[in-house]
Copies of this chain bind each other. A is one copy, B any other.
């Protein structure tokens, strides 16, 4: 029993190791230049071993994406639920995004990979990939809920279908990430990205808020995001 348990635990750890190393590589050098060779090297495993844990390169990417999406939903959902209005919920959502980005940059991976694997998402869903979207769809749901709530309580604009609008919003929100994720890390500037995210999210807030909303809810303060330096692996280095 104990033996099997250990084996199973080791198996999970290996999987994690591979996933993490792959994630680091994506962050460092971009999705397009990720190779199985690189992942194997980083994980100090052989290429063949990767195939014991994942069916294909794509499977690895999907898993990374899934993990990041799940983490985001887990992080944002409770915070969003505490909000007292739809607009505030949306505000909280973006703030969560920014916080999470400040902590791990995983959200970059999230979008970058998504666009690599199924570029049409969230607009068009490639049916061959159905089943992939478990976690991504949770994000769509999360945002759709927020929009629905705001439309109901009058803090967000009305007249649009929440589900579809949510997809649009995700697309816009991720556009910056997408742009950034494709650039290898050396050229990236974390503070530039944060500033850009704020700009984008504020446009979204204003674009979705009802007339005469509380101006405080239309702005995102950069201070809410920890000003950390990240090492090559995306791990945070306390100053």
Contact = CB atoms under 8 A, between A and B. Distances in A.
Interface of A: 30, 32, 115, 119-121, 123-124, 126, 157, 160, 164-165, 168-169, 171-172, 174-176, 178-185, 187-189, 192-193, 196, 199-200, 202-208, 211-212
B171 A179 contact: yes
Per assembly, the copies of the chain total 4
A203 B120 contact: no
A120 B179 contact: yes
A182 B171 CA distance: 13
A160 B206 CA distance: 14
Shortest 4 CB-CB contacts between residues of A and residues of B: A175-B175, A207-B207, A119-B182, A203-B207
A120 to B, nearest CB: 4
A32 B116 CA distance: 10
B199 A160 contact: yes
B179 A123 contact: yes
A175 B168 CA distance: 10
20 contacts: A115-B179, A115-B182, A119-B182, A120-B179, A120-B180, A120-B182, A120-B183, A123-B176, A123-B180, A123-B196, A124-B188, A126-B183, A126-B185, A160-B199, A164-B199, A165-B199, A171-B179, A175-B176, A202-B207, A204-B207
Contact of A119 (B30, B204, B208): B30
A211 B30 CA distance: 40
Contacts of A157: 206
A207 B187 CA distance: 29
A120 B179 CA distance: 5
Nearest to A161: B199
A231 B76 CA distance: 42
A223 B204 CA distance: 25
Given A171-B176, A176-B123, A178-B178, A203 B208 contact: yes
Contacts of A206: 157, 206-208
